[in-house]
Structures are given as structure tokens and as C-alpha cells.
Structure 1
Amino acid sequence: MKPSDVGVAVMVAVIWGLAFVASRLALDEFSPALMTALRFAIAAVPCLFVRKPDVSWPLLIAISGTLFLGQFLAQAYGLAHGVPVGLTSVIVQSQALFTIAFAVIAFGEMPTPVQTLGIGIAATGLLMICGTVGYDFSAGAFAVLMISPVSFAIGNLLLRRARDVPMFDLFAWLCLVPPLPLLALALVADGPRPTLDSLIHMSLTGLACMLALGAISTSIAYWLWGRLLRDYTAAQVVPFALLVPFVGAAASTLVFGERFGPLRLAGMLIVVCGIAVMLLSKRPQVLPEIA
């Protein structure tokens, strides 16, 4: 890879890692459903300027419902209910494990021995993390958060059916699906008045976080990542996604003062090591996690 493109890959990973911090800050002002709705309403603006890709509406809705709506709503819920930012960034990255596992079920794609080893390592780390649940956040919040990597993995596999279409156009139109259902959910779950108050009394910090999540982390970063995947092999590009949980954990420590006990920290590191083994094998089959 050219040095400039290496810089772009690192920059995207840093953006996605910092997005976890932006999400947590935004949740001080918005409910999980409303925050996620605003994120994709902003990210959907480019669809006004690009044509709808040659993808059926049912497939478009299925991809967006899993890859975007399910993943980010569950992620926001976990963050809003006390799951630490750094831990969340690692848990969501475990979508690599679920993507490979679901590919076995859906397509009969048997993982390589190296990928199988990576799955075992990552699963061990997840079990260690599970052993720390219940102290500073509830098991329910952790269970909902686990929907995020599972939903992302399903979206990865559905995305394979949308081949030979411009990726920027596709992702712009995928962003069009979540806002209305999530706004409806916010109105029902939170009530019309609290939802309206959140929008009316939005602070500059809240606005900045939403613009960062919608325009930078989703629209721009996805476009840059897609360009890298167009110009280079997945084996060259995807490993840079391993920087995301490290950036997320480091940023959460600096901004929120998060600290991790020995067992949880060891589990987080083991999960990342397992994902590294999977992504650095000869047959990378997964997309990177974003926030």
C-alpha cells in the first residue's frame, strides 16, 4: 500500500474508535433510538445526490436492518445502560467471529484451521468477559449489546448479495432505512414530549457528536474504506480494523477515566488476539467493525 493510503486506513480506524466516545457523549442528551435515528438521518443526505443502486427494496431493507439498525441500536442501548465504552468497542469487533460461524451455517464455508484457532481464542476471551458481567453493568445490558455483533455478522452475509453496485451509493441508500422506524420507536418508548425536548434543547456538544457520527464516522469513513477495498485486497486493508478497539479503549480511558479489572482486560486482549488471527489468515471473509 502507498504510504498515503496507509495513512487513510489508520485515520479511518481512529475515526471509528473515537466514534464510540462520541456515541457515549451523545447518549447524555438522546435516547438510544433517537440518537441512532439522527445518526442515519444525517448519513442519508448523500442519497439525495446518488441513484438508488440496482438492489431490490426487500434486500436493501434486510441489509440495513441488520448491518445498521440492529447493530447500532443494540450498541447504543448497551452504552446507555452502563457497558463501558472500551469494552463495547471490543465486543462489537467480535462480529468477525460470528460472521465466519454464520457463513458455515448459511453457505457451508468451512473456516481454515487458522480461522478455527482464531474463533477458539476469541470465544475464550468472550467467556472471560462474561465472567465480569454484573458488577458495573447488568447482564441484560450485556445481552442486548451482544445483539450488535450478531446483527452485524448477519448484515455482512446479506451484503454479499448486493454485488457489482457502487458501494458509496449502496451505503447512502442503506442509511435511508433506519431513521423513520427508529424515530417511531423513540416516540413510543420515550414519549413525544421527551423526544421533542431532546431535539429542541440539543447542545453544541450533542450537535457536534451527531455530525461526527453521521457525516464523518458513517458517510466519509465508509466511503474512504470502500475506496481502499477497491484499490487493494481485503488482506491488505482489513487488518487495520484491529486498531479500532485499541483506539476506543484508549479514548474511553482518557475521556471517561475507564479502568478495567485484570480478568476483563485479559479477556478484551484475548478477543482482539483471536480476531487478529482470523483477519490475518489467508481467507479474510469479514468486514471490519465501525461505530
Structure 2
Amino acid sequence: MTTATRSTGYAGTLALTALTPIVWGSTYAVTTEFLPPDRPLFTALMRALPAGVLLLALTRVLPHGKWLGRAAVLGVLNIGAFFPLLFLAAYRLPGGVAGVLGAVAPMFALGFAAVLLAEAPTRRKVIAGVVGVLGVSLVVLRGTVELDLLGVLAGLAGAASMGAGTVLTKKWGRPDGVGPLAMTGWQLTAGGLFIVPLAVLIEGAPPALDGQAVGGYLYLGVIGTALAYWLWVRGISRVSATSVSFLGLLSPVSAAVIGWIALGQALTALQIAGLGIALAATVFGQLPSKPVEAQRVLPVVPRGDAEREAKPIAPELVSVARS
């Protein structure tokens, strides 16, 4: 496989994986316009568990052995703990602060990757992480803010949970013969089951649902969760975990654009600048380290062997190092 082919395949995988945070950006608009108010845990449950059960039914593959524990851990980190922490931060913090804390996830991923995957954080990715937080801050923050300690801790814990789940998904990979669709089903089911007792204890009985709510939950479950998380798990298996984590910066960008187009929300010049900075940080975080130059490998030819020297030597390309 040529270097160009590999680069094209890598870029294509990143582009498909980037659809996940773009779709996640629609969650706010769908939640506020179609779903029952003040039921974040029920919404998280409806996003995760039905989608997970659906994927289990489609793939008919269940975890066994050590993967029972691994699926549970990944389900809690990526879904079961992440969703409630995200909603807790959003409810306790003023406009956009939770989004800024969520943008710290790539920095957590860099740290976890250094420990668990022996991937030393490059200067480029550290800079991209800091710039990404700055860009998201310009998009979502408004005026002066008062910080709630519990909300800040929940936001940071949610970002750390997602970062750890992304890196562990990369570290553990998948069992032989198990595809990303089955892995997604395992995680969504485990995460959804983790949320069930929290939703019952904190929010009580499920609310009454009208046609709009049913449609909203179907969208979040099928498109925003089953399909989106399948693309996410697939991307993690094919590219660097830290590169995938930087794509999460697209979520607040997507949310702002959808709010502007679909909900009529105005964007200030500062917000537009923030969108550009966040997008630049996302791209900057994907750039590979210096590629290894294509080299012509020459065998050692004994002096005086004129016939052997006259034979053409086929070049071999050294694979491009990925960040």
C-alpha cells in the first residue's frame, strides 16, 4: 500500500469519525425543542439503553470472559458516568461553562495516552488542546460567570471519563471476530444499565411522552447514539486515540451553528472567531508528526560484481509515522 493510499484512508476515517461530534452538537436543539424538560437522566437512559439493546439484537454477539468486565468499564466511562456528569455540570453551571470544561477532554486523553499507551504528548497536540479550549470559550461563554464547585468538578470528571474511555477503547481493542458495531452495543447497554437506578432514584417514574418526544428520542437513540457511537468506536480502532479526542471540539461548534440556523440564535463576531479557532485547533490536533521520507533501500553490493550492480533495484516505501 502506497503512502498516498494510506494518507487518503487515514483522512477518510477521520472525516467519518468527525460526523460523531457534529451529530452530538444537535443534542441541545433536539432536547430543548422536542423532549420533556428537566429529565436529563431519563434522556440519557433513552439515548443509551434502547440503542444498545438494538445493536445487541442485530449483531447477536455477547461479551464473555475478561470482556464482560472490560465492556462494563468502557460502558460506564463512555456512557454511564459521562452522561450524568455532563448533565450535572450543565445544570449547575451558567451558560457554556460546562462546554468549556468538556473541551478539556483532549488534554485528559493526552495524559491517559501517555500512561496507558506510552504515547508521549507532542508539543503540537498540547498547543492544539489549549487553543481548542480558548476557541470553545469564545463560542459559549457570556459575560461574567459564577462558578459552582460541584458543577466544575462534575464537568472535569465528565471530560476525564470520556478521555479515559477513549484511550482504554484504543488500548484494549476488540476481541477476535468482533466488529465495532457489537462493541458499541456492549458499551451502550452497560452504560444504560448503569444509569437506570440513578434515573429512578433521582427523577422517579418516566414522564408521559407525546409524538414529538418519541420522535426526538428515536433521533437521539438511533442517529445521535447508535450510529454516532459506532463511528466513534470504529474511528478509535483505526487512528490515534488522541487524534480522535480532538474531534470532540467539533461538538460545541456544531451546536452553535445549528442554534444559529435552526433556532435563530445570533452569533457575535467574537463567537465566529471562536468557531474558527476551535476548527483550527481540531485540524492542528490531527496533523501527523514529521513523516518518514520515502527511502530507496539499497542492498550492499560486493565490489567488482558488475553484473549484480547492473540489475535495477526496486524502491520500498517506509510507512508514514502517525501521531
TM norm structure 2: 0.67
Letter in 2 for 1:44: G
- 2:127 maps to 117
**What pairs up with 1:1-291 in 2 under 5 angstroms?**
1=8, 12=20, 14-25=22-33, 28-29=36-37, 31-45=39-53, 46-49=55-58, 50-53=60-63, 55-81=66-92, 83-84=94-95, 91-122=101-132, 135=145, 138=148, 140-165=150-175, 166-190=179-203, 192=204, 195-196=205-206, 198=207, 201-224=208-231, 238=244, 243-256=250-263, 258=265, 270=277, 272-282=279-289
Letter in 2 for 1:112: T
| Cα offsets for 1:212-241 (capped at 9, x unmatched) | 1111111123334556777x7569x95876
Cα distance in 1, alignment partners of residues 121 and 12 from structure 2: 33
Cα distance in 2, alignment partners of residues 5 and 33 from structure 1: 32
Distance 1:104 1:129, change over 3 A: farther
Unmatched segments (≥5 aa) in structure 1: 286-291
Letter in 2 for 1:176: T
How much is the aligned-residue C-alpha RMSD, in angstroms? 4.0
Letter in 2 for 1:21: A
SS in 2 for 1:135: coil
1:115 Cα deviation (Å)? 1.7
Cα distance in 2, alignment partners of residues 134 and 69 from structure 1: 32
| Cα offsets for 1:142-172 (capped at 9, x unmatched) | 4423332211001112213432431110110
| Cα offsets for 1:230-282 (capped at 9, x unmatched) | 7x7569x9587654332211112345555677877766765554443223343
Identity of aligned residues (%): 17
Q: Which has the larger radius of gyration?
A: 2
Cα distance in 2, alignment partners of residues 185 and 234 from structure 1: 33
Cα distance in 1, alignment partners of residues 25 and 183 from structure 2: 23
Equivalenced residue count is 276
Higher RCO, 1 or 2 (CA under 8 Å, sep at least 6)?
1
Higher normalized helix content (fraction of residues): 1
1:26 Cα deviation (Å)? 5.9
Please say if residues 29 and 202 of structure 1, whose CA atoms lie closer than 8 Å, have aligned partners that are also in contact. Answer: no
| Cα offsets for 1:184-225 (capped at 9, x unmatched) | 1122223x3xx23x1xx1122222221111111111233345
